[in-house]
Amino acid sequence: QKPVDTTRLANLIREYHLGSDFNPERVLLIDDDTELAELYKAHLESAGMKVVNLTDPTQVIASIQEHKPELVLIDLYMPEYSGMEVASLIRQFDAYASMPIVYLSSEADNVRQTAALEKGADDFLTKPISAASLIAAVRLRIKRARQLQALISKDSLTGLLKHSSIKDALSNELSRAYRSKETLCSCMLDIDHFKRVNDSYGHAVGDTVIASLATLLTQRLRQSDHVGRYGGEEFMLVMPACHHDAAHSILDDIRQRFAAIQFIAGSEVFSCSLSAGYVVVVPDDEQSPSAQAITERADAALYESKNNGRNRVTQ
């Protein structure tokens, strides 16, 4: 009889109860007063958030890179650096332009509060603060930041994830697959002879074809799958927990459904086809290919589909 993998079982049970949407808020708290920082950390953790305390502001960028917080809480007065200096340091990085920065300070003077906010922070919370107020303030700002992030990560024509966002999705799902030892399927998909569509019927009709494929992909795939517009008429799919047989039949079904769509342009009716290449990653301890290596393999499979006559799916 096979031994039971208890870690895997525990993870499965946890995921089952928490659901795939469970995503605790991540907060970085910078304060020289360690006792107070521990108290605030405990408040936020009691609400299920993940909190990292930092007493040395010179480590702020390294800490942001490591913990990827969704909000930074900064004390205003610290011995070596002021909170204002820390806020303006964070704002020097384009990547953190939209990260909510909130001061947490006993400073009650409005003029000094405003001066501090001008350094690039978003808001001011005054100490002492109750657990309930702190939790509500942090939770609401992170909720709003997530809504904005979801908006800016989408492609405007199709509503799918943008190039950089689908790449992030692949990296994240890959790490998760290696941790949970689940298989993962990644696919590249490209419309065949799309130039001809544009040349024959115009760019606007071409856009409609791209948008129709996007709709088909979102309807046919699961909620937990990720769909991105990788480039013009090229798409990337990331399908967690998808095995080889399932991957092939889903992709081939998409291929057939797309080929069956009849597009109308003026008095003409036409149809298109697509080619796909996919990779199934089966995690084992010896091989953990990178996201880039997997994308290159999916790309190579796509080009095999193209070279073998298009309108087909290749692993």
Token pair of 223 as six digits: 């909620």
Residue 80 annotated as catalytic = no
38 is a site residue for Mg ion (CB under 5 A): no
Options 83-91, 93-101, 109-117, 203-211: segment touching ligand GH3 (CB under 6 A): 203-211
Rg (CA), the chain: 24
User: Does residue 250 contact residue 221 with C-beta atoms inside 8 Å?
Assistant: yes
**Which is nearest to 237 in space by CA: 168, 173, 154, 166?**
166
179 interface partner picked from ligand GH3, Mg ion, none, CB below 5 to 8 A per type: none
Q: Which residues have CB under 8 Å from 39's CB, separation 6+? A: none
Options 55-63, 173-181, 201-209, 239-247: segment touching ligand GH3 (CB under 6 A): 201-209
Catalytic residue among 70, 107, 182, 233: 233
Site track 225-264 with Mg ion (rule: CB under 5 A), x = hit: ---------x------------------------------
Secondary structure (DSSP) of 18-70? H-TT----EEEEE-S-HHHHHHHHHHHHHTT-EEEEES-GGGHHHHHHHH--S
Site track 32-61 with ligand GH3 (rule: CB under 6 A), x = hit: ------------------------------
Total interface residues for ligand GH3 by CB under 6 A: 15
Query: In this complex, which beta carbon is closest to ligand GH3, that of residue 206 or of residue 240?
Result: 206
* Least gap, CB of 170 to Mg ion (angstroms): 18
What distance in Å separates the CA atoms of residue 158 and residue 144, rounded to the nearest whole number?
A: 23
Pairing of strands 274-281, 313-314: parallel
191 is a site residue for ligand GH3 (CB under 6 A): yes
CB atoms within 10 A of CB 60: 21
* 3-state secondary structure (DSSP) of residue 153: coil
- Of the candidate residues 107, 173, 182, 190, the single one contacting Mg ion (CB under 5 A): 190
14 is a site residue for ligand GH3 (CB under 6 A): no
206 is a site residue for ligand GH3 (CB under 6 A): yes
Residue with tokens 């950390």: 41
User: Does residue 121 contact residue 91 with C-beta atoms inside 8 Å?
Assistant: no
207 is a site residue for ligand GH3 (CB under 6 A): yes
Options 16-24, 95-103, 194-202, 259-267: segment touching ligand GH3 (CB under 6 A): 194-202
Measured over the CA atoms of residue 26, residue 186, residue 281 and residue 244, the dihedral's sign is positive
* Least gap, CB of 210 to ligand GH3 (angstroms): 6
303 is a site residue for Mg ion (CB under 5 A): no
Residues that bind ligand GH3 in the complex, under the rule CB under 6 A = 190-195, 198, 203, 206-207, 210, 232-233, 306, 310
Residues taking part in catalysis: 233
